[in-house]
Amino acid sequence: MTDDFESRLQELLEERARLEQGSVDRVLGSIDALPDRHRRLKSRFPLLAAAAAILLGTVVLGVAALLRDPADVATPVSPSSPTISADPSSAAISPSLAPSVSVTPQSRPVWAIDLASQLDCDGALADLGNEVPPVPGPFDPAPTPDGALDNIRITYQNLPASGFEPVLVEGHWALHRYLVDGRAKVLVVSTNQFPDVDSETRWEAVGLRACDRSEFAEADFDPEANTIWLDAAGDPVRTDVITSSAGPGHCGWQRTVFLSLFDPDYTQYFRDPHADLAEYSVVQFDADARLPDDATDTGLHTDDWHLFTIPSGRAVFMRTPDGTIERWPRANQPVGCM
């Protein structure tokens, strides 16, 4: 619809108003005996007619505007409304309208997710460590990923003392792998990305999964950590079946050997030639004992000892390489040292 049409419509409305006014004048003028109130109505009618014409014109113009081609309609823009260019490359947003920007932590690499599934263990996983938590926190940070690995090995002495591959660093994440014949046996994940903590010098081991220590290479054992026992066929036995280690030096028990059996329940025995733990022993240590008639040969052994058990469980008996039999007493309660 064009501007000429709107002008023509306005003229028609005005002409109609004039015609209606003339008709009213002729009718009212032929009546001479109208009461005063009707004469007052006659004097006001031109104003009412004009108002009606204007109102009708406004309605018609509104309808015309609705029927107009949208391309002909100009949308009013408030002077205070910001205008944004249709071209995204040139769009400018007032700083007051710009969204706040927060730094998004680096996404965890794929190798830092589900560590357990990446191990190639012969048996069940060792019961130590954990997967990387959703929000890691620093507890004992180190300046480098290698330092973080050293810290975690202090906490978990059953981890290999050596043999880890060179660290893989990807941004704020680091991975240490321990392989045996190309098979992953230990995975340690570290990060230096923590909420509200300087991320430059604080590496922490936050994920650890490992196979049982019996699956590690013998050359990588820590001599002061748990001893790996062998079965009758000479194969390593899991440390959740049997393990032994020297007592902690900071408690003065370094002269004592702790033996732990887990079949069926956890039981603790001592090789305690100096009676350092005599008060915790069911019987006393005997360096030159006799093997009881009801003793059972378990086949479990190390280079130094061969294990025999008895039904009472009050002690175990060890045969040394020279044939001597030692009696190791059972602990009367779990003994540990912090």
pLDDT tens digit sequence for 240-265: 999 999 988 888 899 999 999 997 78
Mean pLDDT of 45-54: 42
In angstroms, rounded to a whole number, what is the distance separating the alpha carbons of residues 228 and 70? 86
Are residues 178 and 158 in contact, defined by beta-carbon separation less than 8 angstroms? no
pLDDT for residue 43: 41
Which strand (E) or helix (H) includes residue 180? strand 173-180
Mean pLDDT of 24-28: 42
Confidence of residue 47 (pLDDT cuts 50, 70, 90): very low
pLDDT at 33 over 60: no
pLDDT for residue 16: 54
pLDDT for residue 87: 34
pLDDT for residue 73: 38
The distance of Cα 271 from the centroid of its chain, to the nearest Å, equals: 45
Residue among 266, 263, 229, 269 at smallest CA distance from 247: 269
* Range picked from 80-94, 182-196, 220-234 for highest mean pLDDT: 182-196
For the ranges 3-12, 178-187, 317-326, the lowest mean pLDDT is seen at: 3-12
Confidence of residue 326 (pLDDT cuts 50, 70, 90): very high
Mean pLDDT of 154-166: 91
Q: Residue 260 half-sphere exposure, CB side, CA atoms within 13 Å?
A: 19
The residue type found at 75 is T
Which tokens belong to 322? 């020279």
Confidence of residue 41 (pLDDT cuts 50, 70, 90): very low
pLDDT for residue 75: 37
The distance of Cα 333 from the centroid of its chain, to the nearest Å, equals: 40
Buried b (16+ CB within 10 A) or exposed e, 195-222: eeeeeeebbbbbbbbbbbbbbbeeebbb
pLDDT at 122 over 80: yes
The residue type found at 232 is A
pLDDT at 52 over 60: no
In angstroms, rounded to a whole number, what is the distance separating the alpha carbons of residues 143 and 192? 9
Diameter over CA atoms, the chain: 154
pLDDT digits (tens, 9 = 90+) for 126-148: 998 999 998 887 777 899 999 99
Which strand (E) or helix (H) includes residue 12? helix 3-29
